[in-house]
Amino acid sequence: MVGNVLMRDQVTAAGAGMAARQERGAARSRTTEAGVPAQEQTGAVVIAPDLDQWRLAQLRREGAPVGGALKRAFDVTAASAAILVLSPLLASIWVAIAVERAGKEDPVFRQERGGFGGKPFEIYKFRTMFCAESGATVKQVQAGDDRITPLGRFLRRASWDELPQLFNVLKGDMSLIGPRPHATGHDREFAAIDPTYPQRFAARPGITGLAQVSGCRGPTETDDKVIARTQFDVEYTRNWSFFGDVRIALRTLMLFVKRDPGAM
């Protein structure tokens, strides 16, 4: 059953690019000549290719992130429980990285990512690479990347490098479920590829998300991959439901049981 679900997800992801190209064309037609974000008649979706203008429009509104208080309550409860249960593992990984790096670097890596409303925040990850890139230019990780440490390669395959983001959830920067946050340098690059991209910022970024369980995990080194992932992220923000989050959480657990081919 797990194999069938994962195969269906891969097929779905492969077809996402074509549908998203049609969405991009429609998005451009809904953008005003002055470049100011245009809002659909429903008032539920904002589309803009210009991130700075979209952020200003978002800040003028006093709306809550997708899911509101219910989603936030679930995040705090589940993240607190997970930190408590996983605290021995978190401590062990911290010590192992400190030994590997001979105490020269903090075992927790911090990088600026785009969050709710496009506002940057500092994401936490266990250090798995020899470099510490942040800012306007960030090279994406590729298969066989020689910047990854030996211990880091294991942590990334198991997705344990993401565990410190449970603390981002408690801080309110992230959610357990939502669009995965990208480096701020990539946000502009991806928004230029797909004008619907800023709609992802209607939700808090997540540790896992609809795109990741639908076959769109890993580097986005091509336009088609950016478009496919963006389509799933936008679909999530438009159609959020609590039980939808539960389904994504269960599908994420299935990927842990059967090793996720997108992990690297």
What integer pLDDT is reported at residue 7 of this predicted model? 46
Is residue 225 in a domain?
A: no
Low pLDDT (below 50) residues in the chain: 1-3, 5-8, 10-12, 14, 16, 20, 24, 26-49, 56, 59-60
What integer pLDDT is reported at residue 226 of this predicted model? 94
Is residue 82 in a domain?
A: yes
Is residue 226 in a domain?
A: no
The answer for residues whose C-beta is within 8 angstroms of residue 103's C-beta and 6 or more apart is: none
238's tokens: 């438009």
Beta bridge partners of 109: 125
The whole domain housing 248 covers 49-207+235-264
The Cβ of residue 235 has, within 10 Å, a number of other Cβ atoms equal to 17
Is residue 17 in a domain?
A: no
What integer pLDDT is reported at residue 132 of this predicted model? 58
The Cβ of residue 96 has, within 10 Å, a number of other Cβ atoms equal to 15
Dump pLDDT digits (tens) for 50-106: 555 555 455 445 578 999 999 999 999 999 999 999 999 999 999 999 999 887 889
The Cα–Cα gap between 8 and 52 comes to 37
Is residue 7 in a domain?
A: no
The Cα–Cα gap between 47 and 49 comes to 7
The Cα–Cα gap between 181 and 214 comes to 16
The Cα–Cα gap between 252 and 238 comes to 21
Is residue 43 in a domain?
A: no
Is residue 39 in a domain?
A: no
Instruction: Work out how many domains the chain is built from and give that number.
Output: 1
What integer pLDDT is reported at residue 129 of this predicted model? 84
Q: 210: alpha, beta or left, given left = phi > 0 and alpha = psi -120 to 50?
A: alpha
**CA–CA distance from 6 to each of 2, 47, 110, 205, 251 (Å)?**
6, 31, 31, 23, 9
What integer pLDDT is reported at residue 46 of this predicted model? 40
Is residue 3 in a domain?
A: no
What integer pLDDT is reported at residue 30 of this predicted model? 41
The Cβ of residue 63 has, within 10 Å, a number of other Cβ atoms equal to 9
Measure CA of the first residue to CA of the last residue in the chain; give whole Å.
Answer: 24
